[in-house]
Amino acid sequence: MCGIVGYTGKNPAKDILFRNLQKLEYRGYDSAGIALQTADGLQVVRRLGKVANLVQASADTDPTSTCGIAHTRWATHGRPSEANAHPHRSCDNKVAVCHNGIVENYAELRERLVAEGHTFRSETDTEVVAHLVEKYYRGDLLSAARAAVREMIGAFGLVIMHADEPGTIVVARKDSPIVIGQGKDGCYVASDVIAVAEATRDVVVLEDYQFAKLTPEGMSFCNGDGQTIEPEHMRVDWEIDETERGNWPDFMLKEIHEQPRVVRDTLKGRMVNGLLSIDELELTPDELGFIDRVYVIACGTSYHAGLIAKDLIENWARIPTEVEVASEFRYRNPIITPSTLVVAVSQSGETADTLAAIRDARIRGAKVFGITNVIGSRIARESDGVIYTKAKKEVAVASTKSFIGQVVSLTLLAMLLAQSKNRLNTAQIRVLFRELADTAGQIEEILSDTKAIEAAAHDCADAQSALYIGRGLASTVCYEGALKLKEISYVHAEAYAAGEMKHGPIALLHEGFPVVAVATQSPIYDKTLSNIEESKARGAKIVAVATEGDDQIGKYADHVLFIPKVRDAFMPITASVVLQLFARAIAVERGCDVDQPRNLAKSVTVE
Ligand code: M6R
């Protein structure tokens, strides 16, 4: 949430900052701003909207400046506006600050600073940081930043400059990601490794209450007391071009098409000598056998992956499994014992609520296992064990390939738990594994011909609302399908277990109202068919996701989107791809920005 970049070195800073800021636009795009060190002090430009607006507005800024910071915002405190855009400055305009996070005690700090004579120019929580640094500045920016941070409660990734210290950027963090690296030409800082990796593969992920001072000559680190520290370095081992859109019209479509590869990579090395292996769990077979309750904690799409896992774990391993949204779990009093396994699912590995929930679960004595896509992320680092989903960098705000990576990883976990409980034998596991691997080819089949999906989308593109219905695992696919539609096309969409329709939602139906029904082959197929009939009888336009070879469904549905025949347990993997494509096609028809939907950000690092 919010992207921060900084550079100090030998080269002109402006273009470097813009290039790197653009890579972070997925973190928020309400407004953007830049501050450059110049011979005449700090030069600041801010604009409402995307980085492109800022680039245009900055044409006249100093092209020779070699030190600067920049920010792309996802608004928390204060509406999106130029005045609320970062960087924020002190009264004397000598301090500039970019911030990611929330200063929770900002109101109290602001009141005090105002009483001390400071004048505020924005509605943001961040501005207090600029004034605090101004207040404590005695010729050393690092000391002033440490003093300011001592007063702050909340989450922050901060990059700070002072006009009297040319070439210096001070960095601080608590609970918001900050990555730093030294390239050949200077030092870089950002809130995501992708904005540093082009310069260097050797990066430092700052820990809470660690500070860094960057100059053209190098970087140094200290703790809150000012004592020098040597932080851990991390090696970035992926390719830069994985984050490029290439010839695809948008990242979302590119990422949807990467899903067969994600399935294959996630499964690679998991079957060793005929046995399922997830060494990263760091639990012995005995410890695994001891688990008698599972909590899956997650948000958004990752939560939906958890709903699928519940079905599989309970079915195969017979272990009671709860799936909870992290923002609720963290404030409840969940029943956790030493035999509880908590599984935290998060693409970014930095979602604030999920992170807080696992911290709480560990204090309560649970073993915490992370499933994330980002190597070295907070959730990965704070879990007892971690599976990486192998989706590689996901740029589109709407999760697609990371979801498939999560579902495949959770399926493996369910199989492992079943194996350790002796509920599935080795031969059964092998059959399941082979069928799971087959879903890669089935997704390819779906992707090879999307005409029916596009036709259905064209027919539904003008709708204001849609209902998604399904039973059993199909209902979980519907939750995710409805989320995809609303987040990228702004069509109001709700998902219901199909049997619930007649308890309320059916009242919404009228002539032409789209009902997306996931009616794939399962023991309860006929029940879903009845619910489709009930909707059809009330004039609904039916878009059915069905299994190839189903010759009944055409009688009820206006559009049938077929998926290859697959075991019900693995149907969410293929059926979800159809609904991702359907949502995207509607968003494209409606002229929406598929990759950067309004009001959203890829990583939610605030509560
Ligand atoms: O990074 P996480 O998986 O923890 O993120 C959770 C949600 O914010 C995320 O899945 C969100 O719902 C996506 N925009 C869905 O497409």
Give the pLDDT confidence of 29-77 residue by residue, as tens digits.
788 999 999 999 999 999 998 889 999 999 999 999 999 999 998 877 7
Compute the distance between CA of residue 407 and CA of residue 567 in angstroms, rounded to an integer.
Answer: 15
174 has catalytic annotation: no
Nearest atom (ligand 1) to Cα of 397: 14
Is 80 exceeded by the pLDDT of residue 460? yes
Compute the distance between CA of residue 316 and CA of residue 24 in angstroms, rounded to an integer.
Answer: 41
Q: How many CB atoms lie within 10 A of CB 117?
A: 9
Asked if 49 and 31 touch (Cβ cutoff 8 Å), the reply is yes
What pLDDT score does 242 carry?
Answer: 65
Q: Residues 370-377: what's their mean pLDDT?
A: 88
What pLDDT score does 41 carry?
Answer: 94
* pTM assigned to the model: 0.83
What pLDDT score does 565 carry?
Answer: 95
pLDDT one-digit tens code per residue, 519-544:
999 999 999 999 999 999 999 999 99
What pLDDT score does 338 carry?
Answer: 87
- Indicate the SS3 state at residue 273: coil
pLDDT one-digit tens code per residue, 257-314:
999 999 999 999 998 887 888 888 777 888 888 899 999 999 999 999 999 999 999 9
Please tell me the distance between residue 87's alpha carbon and the centre of ligand 1 in angstroms: 27
- Indicate the SS3 state at residue 601: coil
Q: Indicate the range of 232-241, 472-481, 484-493, 501-510 predicted with least confidence.
A: 232-241
Q: 381: pLDDT confidence band, cut at 50, 70 and 90? A: confident
% residues pLDDT > 90 (the chain): 77
Pocket test for ligand 1, best of 191, 327, 350, 351 (most atoms within 8 A of CB): 351
End-to-end CA gap in the chain: 11
Burial of 333 (0-12, 13-18, 19+ CB in 10 A): exposed
Q: 172: pLDDT confidence band, cut at 50, 70 and 90? A: very high
What pLDDT score does 492 carry?
Answer: 96
Q: 416: pLDDT confidence band, cut at 50, 70 and 90? A: very high
Is 80 exceeded by the pLDDT of residue 238? no
Out of 484, 536, 541, 602, which one is annotated catalytic? 602
Ligand 1 proximal residues by C-beta, below 6 Å? 299-302, 346-348, 351, 354, 397-399, 487, 600, 603-604
User: What residue type is 531 in one-letter code?
Assistant: N
Residue from 288, 279, 287, 294 nearest 361 by CA? 294
Q: Residues 464-474: what's their mean pLDDT?
A: 96
Find all residues with CB under 8 Å of 48, minimum gap 6, and list them.
30, 31, 80, 81, 82, 85
What pLDDT score does 239 carry?
Answer: 64
**C-alpha distances in Å from residue 101, one per residue of 97, 307, 359, 442, 449:** 13, 29, 18, 41, 43
Pocket test for ligand 1, best of 296, 302, 485 (most atoms within 8 A of CB): 302
Q: How many CB atoms lie within 10 A of CB 111?
A: 11
Please tell me the distance between residue 38's alpha carbon and the centre of ligand 1 in angstroms: 40
Is 90 exceeded by the pLDDT of residue 323? yes
Compute the distance between CA of residue 246 and CA of residue 375 in angstroms, rounded to an integer.
Answer: 24
Residue from 392, 147, 405 nearest 267 by CA? 405
Out of 2, 187, 299, 592, which one is annotated catalytic? 2
- Compare 235 and 426 and report the one with higher pLDDT: 426
Nearest atom (ligand 1) to Cα of 348: 1
Q: Residues 560-587: what's their mean pLDDT?
A: 97
What pLDDT score does 241 carry?
Answer: 58
Q: 243: pLDDT confidence band, cut at 50, 70 and 90? A: low
Between CA 117 and CA 125, with CA 121 as vertex, the angle to 5 degrees is 90
**C-alpha distances in Å from residue 528, one per residue of 392, 495, 499, 545:** 36, 14, 8, 11
Please tell me the distance between residue 76's alpha carbon and the centre of ligand 1 in angstroms: 17
Q: Give the residue whose CA is nearest to atom 7 of ligand 1.
A: 300
- Indicate the SS3 state at residue 33: strand
Nearest atom (ligand 1) to Cα of 354: 4
Is 70 exceeded by the pLDDT of residue 443? yes
User: What residue type is 499 in one-letter code?
Assistant: G
Q: How many CB atoms lie within 10 A of CB 248?
A: 13
pLDDT one-digit tens code per residue, 327-372:
998 888 888 988 999 999 999 998 989 999 999 999 988 889 999 9
* SS3 assignment for 44-96: EEEEECCHHHHHHHCCCCCCCCCEEEEEEECCCCCCCCCCCCCCEECCCCCEE
- Compare 599 and 360 and report the one with higher pLDDT: 360
Q: In whole numbers, what is the pLDDT of the chain averaged over residues?
A: 93
Is 80 exceeded by the pLDDT of residue 603? no
Compute the distance between CA of residue 26 and CA of residue 266 in angstroms, rounded to an integer.
Answer: 24
Q: Strands of 233-235's sheet, edge to edge? A: 41-48, 31-38, 67-73, 3-9, 186-190, 179-182, 202-205, 233-235
Please tell me the distance between residue 602's alpha carbon and the centre of ligand 1 in angstroms: 7
Characterize the bridge pairing of strands 385-388 and 367-372: parallel
What pLDDT score does 25 carry?
Answer: 83
Q: Give the residue whose CA is nearest to atom 12 of ligand 1.
A: 300
Residue from 15, 85, 13, 22 nearest 52 by CA? 22
Asked if 70 and 98 touch (Cβ cutoff 8 Å), the reply is yes
Please tell me the distance between residue 92's alpha carbon and the centre of ligand 1 in angstroms: 40
Find all residues with CB under 8 Å of 60, minimum gap 6, and list them.
none
Is 80 exceeded by the pLDDT of residue 1? no
Asked if 572 and 403 touch (Cβ cutoff 8 Å), the reply is no
Compute the distance between CA of residue 347 and CA of residue 97 in angstroms, rounded to an integer.
Answer: 28
Asked if 545 and 578 touch (Cβ cutoff 8 Å), the reply is yes
Find all residues with CB under 8 Å of 591, minimum gap 6, and list them.
none
The greatest distance separating any two alpha carbons of the chain, rounded to the nearest whole angstrom, comes to 79
Q: Indicate the range of 181-190, 253-262, 383-392 predicted with least confidence.
A: 383-392
602 has catalytic annotation: yes
Dig out the tokens for 47 from the structure. 């604009």
